[in-house]
Amino acid sequence: MQARSHAMCLTLLLCSGLATAQLLPDSPDWRESEVPPPPAFDVKRLIRVPGPDGSSLKYGIDPATLSVTPEGVVRYVIVASSANGGQNVMYEGIRCSAGQHRVYARHNATGGWSVLSGSEWQPMYGSAASRHALALSLAGVCKDRAVNRSASNIVRTLKSEQPGGFD
């Protein structure tokens, strides 16, 4: 019985170590390529994507804005819509390999894009501000610690997993 308990403890320790390892930076030499200006988007093209559990907002991505960089950053424009018609629009990036998220710019209906200079990569796990990015990464942007192959494959996966239409 005691040997069985020790084996169970060892297994749990190993599993927790593997889970934590997935959150560690993948390379100290990693550098992001120059971030292009926020792309034009159209709310009529949005595909619905899952949001965080318990959120009253509906999330959608314009598939024409989704891109994958050579260094493994998935960039996109996401729209969070409330029931009363309000919208938050952001140009963001996800690093699947490091479990990180970054906001490059926010869109204002009257003023256009506002680029966030000096924004940094933030962990997707344990941050309320990144819960939607985590939900998106789990919905098909990432496969384990890697990008889900290409922008077209990500769009195909997100469309196949759609929780319903975007109103």
Q: Mean pLDDT over residues 85-114, rounded?
A: 96
Tell me which of 27-31, 79-83, 85-89 is least confident.
27-31
Which has the minimum average pLDDT: 17-26, 41-50, 70-79? 17-26
Q: How far is CA 163 from the centre of its chain?
A: 17
Q: Is 108 exposed, middle or buried, given 0-12, 13-18 or 19+ CB atoms closer than 10 A?
A: exposed
Confidence of residue 162 (pLDDT cuts 50, 70, 90): low
Identify which of 75, 73, 66, 45 has the alpha carbon closest to the alpha carbon of residue 151: 66
Class of domain 38-160: mainly beta
Buried b (16+ CB within 10 A) or exposed e, 80-94: bbeeeeeeebbbbbb
The residues, ordered by sequence, that sit 6+ positions from 93 with a Cβ below 8 Å of its Cβ are 32, 35, 73, 74, 75, 76, 101, 102, 104
Q: Does 161 score more than 80 pLDDT?
A: no
What is the value of pTM for the model shown? 0.81
Please give the pLDDT value at position 129.
87
What pLDDT band is residue 26 in, cutting at 50, 70 and 90? low
Q: Which residue has the higher pLDDT, 118 or 21?
A: 118
Asked if 99 and 22 touch (Cβ cutoff 8 Å), the reply is yes
Q: What is the spatial distance between Cα 157 and Cα 38, in angstroms, rounded to a whole number?
A: 23
Main-chain phi, psi angles of 48, to 5 degrees: -70, 135
Q: Residue 140: which pLDDT band, with cuts at 50, 70 and 90?
A: very high
pLDDT for 18 = 37
Q: What percent of the chain has pLDDT over 90?
A: 69
Mean pLDDT score, 19-31: 63
Name the residue with higher pLDDT: 103 or 144: 103
